[in-house]
Every structure is written in structure tokens, then in C-alpha cells.
Amino acid sequence: MTTRAATLARAADLCASFEAAGAQRIETPVLQPAEALLDLYGEEIRARAYVTSDALRGEQMLRPDFTVPVVQMHMAHGAEPARYTYAGEVFRRQEHDPSRANEYFQVGYEVFDRENPAAADAEVFCLFETVLSPLRLRAATGDIGILTAAVRGLRTTDARKSALLRHIWRPRRFRSLLDRYAGRIKPSKQRLELLAGRAAAPDAPLIGKRSQSEIDARIALLHADAATAPLSETEVDLLDALVNVRETMPFAVQQLRDLAVDMPSIEQAVARLSDRAEALAKRGVDVDALPFEASYGRTSMEYYDGFVFGYYHPKRHDLPAVATGGRYDALTRRLGEGAEIPAVGGVIRPDLMLMLEGGA
């Protein structure tokens, strides 16, 4: 069994490696204000985080990750460019799988740099590749930005595009919405009754937290959506082809370029992927063998909006990722109160490294 002392020692070694790469060591409080996390993730995060409160500070959460507080710190006080490393515990509620840890260590490396995003992506990926190489892990890569660009380019209403963008990280819900917007799924009986004004008696009492004005606004949105023309089969087929791209990086770039002929909205995102492949190759990565999945990261990387990556043991499918990371430019915009800066980073779990090495 991996001991806490061994985990702390490995975390210190990883931080030292990141400091040698130019990172500044930082710390963030274990207790984080809940407001920012709720704004980012919505009420759903309550099911995944430990929440407490006090009279002075209001609702607080035990730190569910480091990225949000690191971004907040940098946007308030950081210089440019900047590189940070940190180590500490994160806390995640586990209500369904008792085998998954609810408290574990992460060591991170983050880069805030405007000059060359592709080079910064390659820097982070290659640094992780170096420190993890003795474990012979399987790398996975993707790019959330390509799918979001495709959704933004759909010929439909802003409301529908916003709904799809909100659910990119929930593939089943995204699929359901896409099929409904394409007219492949008939409206439910309840929705038809609501649209027809037969959902409730005029004098029915209000139950729940929504006001009458909020209910009326929601019904108006449903009426507007019902009057919207369905997505074309061509657009849906193109989206399906995009999310199913799963190749080595050079072949993925070519497939996506072919799709961009009919989906011009993804051209810039595909160009960024191509630039990243070149930057990785310059650092010695064998991109001809590097896997790329257009849908990778859609179930677990909610604040990433571009490059995403992870490292997994090729045989221990029961284990979570040993390391994950990606680009989160939009997060700096949301937390920067008008300011923004390209940012990319990742985290490693030292306890899993030790477990796979057979360490103490």
C-alpha cells in the first residue's frame, strides 16, 4: 500500500522537476469559496464536492481541484508569462463507487503565455511525458475546441447552439439534444401539452422555487424552439463524423481538414491542431504514433476548451488516469473580469505513480 510519506516525497520530486523547468512553487487554500465553483459548474458540483459554511465567509468547498484557484491567483496578481507548480490534496465525493478515492494528492504544472500556444501545449505534454516515461503509460490526446467550433458554426438559433455547448461534456445529453433538434425524436406528450397550454389548470398553485415569470419565460423559449427549423441531416452527419475521428495525429489532421471543406467553422481549430502537431514533433514526440480522439475529454474535463491529454496504464483499466491536462483559455476569461490569457497545464497523481511502480 502506498504510504502518505512516500506520496509526499514523490510529490516533492515532481515539483522539483517542474521548478527546474521554470515554474514558481505556489500554494492555494484547501477551503475554496463556493461561489466561483458554482458559477462555473452549476449546482451539479454539490454532488461531487464537500460543502461547508460559516457566518463570515459563507459557503466553502474543500478544494475539488487546483486549476480554478491557480487561475484566480494569476489573473489577480500574476506576471506574464508565468509558470507555476503546486502539490496538495483534492477532495471529491464518491457516492456510487467506494473503490474510488475521495481524497488524493495532485501535483500540477501550469503555463500562462501569450506568445505561442502550440509551443506551450507541447511544452506541458512533453514535460509530463518525460517524468512519466518510466511507467510506459498510454497517452491519449484530443481537442475540445474543434467540436465547440463545429457547434458554433451550425445553421440554427443561438439558443440551440448554447444548449449544445453546455452539454458537450455530457455526451448522452448532447446526443439527445442533437437528435431532437434534427427532428429525429418526437416531442414528448408532456411537452406537446405544455406547448398547447394544457399543462396545468389556470388556478394551479406554484410548487417549487421557480416564479411564474420564470415559468412563462421557459414556456416562451419552448415555443420559439418548436418553431425553429430542424438541423439538416448533412450537418448532423458531419458532426457525427467529427466526433468519431479516432486516429494517429497526422491522419486525424487530414480527416478533419477534409471535414472542414464542408464545415468551415472548424478551419482555425484544425489549423491549431496542425500547429500543435508540428510543435510536438520539434520536441521529439513521435506524432505519427500519437493517438488523437476528437471526443476525448468530453466526460471529465469541463473547463478545458482546446487541447486535452491524459496518461493511462495500458493494462490497468480499473485505474483512473495517472495524469490529465489541457488548455483552458476560456476559464481565464471567465475568472479574469475582462482580462484573459492563453493557459495550459495538467496534474499528476503521485500515489498512482508509486502504485504502478510497486513503491511503498
Domain residue spans of the chain: 185-229
298 among annotated binding-site residues:
yes
54 among annotated binding-site residues:
no
Q: Is the pLDDT of residue 230 over 70?
A: yes
329 among annotated binding-site residues:
no
Give the range among 71-85, 95-109, 110-124 with minimum mean pLDDT. Answer: 95-109
Q: Which one has a higher pLDDT value, 265 or 78?
A: 265
Residues 113-130, mean pLDDT to the nearest whole number: 97
* Tens of pLDDT, residues 298-353: 887 678 999 999 999 999 988 999 999 999 999 999 888 878 999 999 999 999 99
50 among annotated binding-site residues:
no
- For residue 324, give the nearest of 360, 298, 356, 358 by alpha carbon: 298
92 among annotated binding-site residues:
yes
What is the Cα–Cα distance from 83 to 189, expressed in whole angstroms?
54
293 among annotated binding-site residues:
no
Residues 35-45, mean pLDDT to the nearest whole number: 79
Q: Is the pLDDT of residue 90 over 90?
A: yes
- Three cell numbers at 242? 467529427
Q: pLDDT band at residue 9, thresholds of 50, 70 and 90?
A: very high
Q: Is the pLDDT of residue 239 over 90?
A: yes
Number of neighbouring beta carbons within 10 Å of residue 257: 15
25 among annotated binding-site residues:
no
* Tens of pLDDT, residues 46-56: 878 888 888 88
Helices (H), the chain: 4-20, 34-41, 67-77, 117-132, 144-152, 158-166, 171-181, 189-195, 212-226, 233-243, 249-260, 267-282, 329-335, 350-357
What is the Cα–Cα distance from 259 to 294, expressed in whole angstroms?
12
- What Rg, from alpha-carbon coordinates, does the chain have? 22
Q: pLDDT band at residue 359, thresholds of 50, 70 and 90?
A: very low
66 among annotated binding-site residues:
yes
Residues 215-243, mean pLDDT to the nearest whole number: 80
Number of neighbouring beta carbons within 10 Å of residue 237: 12
65 among annotated binding-site residues:
yes
Amino acid at 157: T
